Structure 1
Amino acid sequence: MGSTVSVRDGLLAILTLGPAYGLQLHAELAARSPHRGTVNPGQIYATLERLGRAGLIESGGRTHDGLPLHRLTPEGRSTADRWLRTPLAGGVPEWSEMLDQILVGATVDPVATERLTRDYRVRWSAELDAAREDAVDSGRETTIAGWASDARAAHARAALEWLAAVSDRLTAGTTARPLSTVKPRRGRRPHDEPGAS
C-alpha cells in the first residue's frame, strides 16, 4: 500500500476486528491487500503514531509477551466504518485505492463491501457510457484522442468485470476472517514501540 491514506484507512479497518500490535498489523495489511508492494514496517509505526495523535487509536494494553496493542477509539471506529461503507470521493476512483478498499473490506465486513461494489459498478458504468459518448460525439475514433477514449472504455469494462466477479464471490460465501493468531517472526519490543516509555 503506497499511499499514506490507504495505509491509514487499511489499519483502521483491520483494527475493527480487535486490538493488534504493530508488526501484526503490518502482516495483516500485507495479507489483506496483496496487490500492493511491501509496506515498510517503519511506515506502519509512523502511521500508528499519527493515528494516536489524531485520537483515532489508543493503547489497547499489551500482549502476554509485552508488545503494545493498539485499539480504535470511538472516533477511529466511526472513521473506519465510513471508509468500509462509502465509495471514495469523486467520480471514478483511483484503481489501487479502490482495490485497497474492496480487498481489505471483503476480509473485514463482506456485507458492507457487497454494497460498496454495487456503488462502484454504478460509477464505472457511467464512466463507460461517457467514454463511448466521447468517442462517438467527437468523431475521433481513428485519432490518438479516439485511442484514449478506447483506453478509457477498456479500463471501465475491466473494472466492471472485476467488480462483478467480486460481487459473485462475496455472495457465494464468506470472505471475512479474524486477526491471525500466527505471530510474525519479529516485532518491536516495548522499548522500541512509538509512545512507549
Structure 2
Amino acid sequence: MSIRHSLLALLQDKPRYGYQLRVEFEDRTGSAWPLNIGQVYTTLDRLERDGLVRNDGGDGEGHVVYSITEAGRTDVAGWFEAPVGRTNPPRNELAIKLALAVTLPGVDVASVIQAQRVASVRALQDYTKSRRDSSANHRSADTAWLLVLDSLIFQTEAEVRWLDLCEARMAQLANPAT
C-alpha cells in the first residue's frame, strides 16, 4: 500500500494535519488498514523534503498543517493513472507458512490448512455481513468502504479456494496411486 500516494490524494481535497489525514484515510477505507500516526508524520516529512507537500505552519492549536504542491498533484495523478504493478507481489504470510509447513518434518499441514480455513470462512462471513449492512444504509460516502469490502470478500473467497487446492494436493501426495 502506498501511504505516500494515499496522503497526497487526501491532501488534494484540502490542507490537513497528520492526525486528520490518518482519520480520513481510515474513514475512507473502513479502517481495513490502520495507519500508525508516526508513519503518517514520517511520510509527511519525506513528502515535504521531496517538494510534494508544503508545511503551511500551525493551525493555532498546535497542529502543523500540510498542503499539496503542484509537484505533489502531478505525482498523485500519475499514481492514479498507472496500474498497480505485479512485478513484486506482496508477501503472503499464509503462502509462506504453508510452503514452510510442507517442507518441515513434524508439521501437521492438514491442521494448518483447516485452522486457516475456519478463520478465513469466519472472516468471509463478517465481510459479507458488513457488506450487506453497508448496502442497506447506502450513502455516497459509503462507496469507498464498499469497494474495500468487495476487495476483501473476493480475496478471502480466493484464499478459501486456494486452501481447498492445497488440501487436495496434500491428499494426492499422501496417496499417489489415485
TM-score (norm 1): 0.43
Greater Rg, structure 1 or structure 2? 2
TM-score (norm 2): 0.47
> Does 1 or 2 have the higher relative contact order (CA < 8 Å, sep 6+)?
1
